[in-house]
Structure 1
Amino acid sequence: MRIAPLAKGRLWFEYENYKQHARFLNLSKKEKEIVEQFKKEGCYLYKNAISDDVIDKIDNAVDEWMIDNISGLVANKKPDGTYPRLIGLHEEVPAIQALFSNEVTLRLRELLFGRGKSLYTSITFLQGSQQALHRDIPVFNVSPDNFYFRIWFALEDATFENGTLTGVRGGHRVAADKYRMPHRFYSRFEEIPEQDPVLWRKYQDALKQKYEAAGLREEKIELSKGDLLIWHPLFPHGGSKIEDKKSSRRSVVLHVTEIPPFSQTVKK
């Protein structure tokens, strides 16, 4: 049986001497700007990353899927009448998978990761999420820590009216220990239930206090159709209020992780 060893380390540009590394020195001026902005703000907005043709193919495929599954969609609408988010729809709608191999996506993943990549899962939104500001890491754990990115694709304009993204630029650098906090409420990790909304909210509230103390604030991030936003796993993000509940705001988020190095072999 082959198993992967626990990897150690950080993303290559998070080391203090990263500017002296050959990897950074060999980048173009534009690539260096992307790395610097991502390192500082925790996100990078790439304009016109996907073509209308790709978007049309995804939209048509999603429309067909909705027709086949309309009863389930209607039955699971939220209390305010908006549609739920769709987890892992790329497995049923192959057109979505084209986003993973998109030219811009490939370049950004190679630039920021520099390792093998894997599509872990996806979320497709038919409307804005209206999620409260949060950090994913308590429920999205990988090894080594923080070796994954979220890549958000706007299939149509994301505006204040239809509920756009929100985020805290620089918030990924604010510390909030996901390991120590549970000990305030549980004596052993084994006692923690699979879902604990109270602990989740306390973690997010503690994070909010810290970035506000650092002078950082939540802001709305408008995107145009075809734009891509890639962000650090510790980047606090959410969704603004939908002003028009009948409006759509189609988008897809990919969770991209590192492919583990199978360098150890254990005989069973």
Structure 2
Amino acid sequence: MKNIRLHLTVLVLVVISEFIGKFAFKVGIGTIVLLPMLYALILGILTTLKKVKISGDKEIKDAGSLISVTLMLLMAKYGTTIGPSILTIIKASPALILQEFGNLGTVILGVPIAVLLGLKRESIGGAHSISREPNVAIVAERYGLNSPEGEGVLGVYLVGTVFGTIFIGLMASILASATFLHPYALAMASGVGSASMMTASVGSLIELFPDMAENIKAFGAASNLLSGLDGVYMSIFLALPFSEWLFKKCYKMKYKEDAPLPSVPVEVSDDHSN
């Protein structure tokens, strides 16, 4: 009952979003699919505006703590779709495993652009992954969240939280309708390690390919599970060292000098005698 205002607000937003429904329309060579999740996200942001002030600081804080609970229910639901399609997934296992190396594409694309835009060591934290909770924890342990690397990973985490589902949902629908990529390949690519992003992407694909709905959900859920399992090790042993190396190369090319040294986490003393 402590969160009754939050629960009622969420219920109203969900009802409004579902009532609006799905919209699909062509833009150039692609098709953009708008899902209720997008409306709910936008409406949720609007409730926090000062002029509206439906959701205050307490509701925002409580909502953040409840995300993990709701995602557990979501992943349990997706887990039930993997079982019936397990034979199809086993046949595609090499592709599912190898596609995880595609996460390094974030480094290849993100670090040079970040350095070009003027970011320094922030580019390592922000571009080594999609910056979800496990990646934030890794950067916090290695560099500290008050470091430039910590600022980079937190910045991408916040942007991804607000715009990630919108971006990946639109990108999936455009790629599905404008390229030769198979829906199953796009479903596997949807599993980036974020349940909300995967859901938005899979939802767009299902809207375009309803006859493949069960397998699309299964591939997306299986890929997301694998990303969650090996994503930490990918970041620790491959992505972060690769980001460091590429950052040094790009920095030297732009500034004609050696890159700044990595930050060292600051240990907080427990001695409060002074």
TM-score by length of 1: 0.26
> Rg larger in 1 or in 2?
2
Q: Which has the higher helix share?
A: 2
What TM-score do you get using the length of structure 2 for normalisation?
0.26
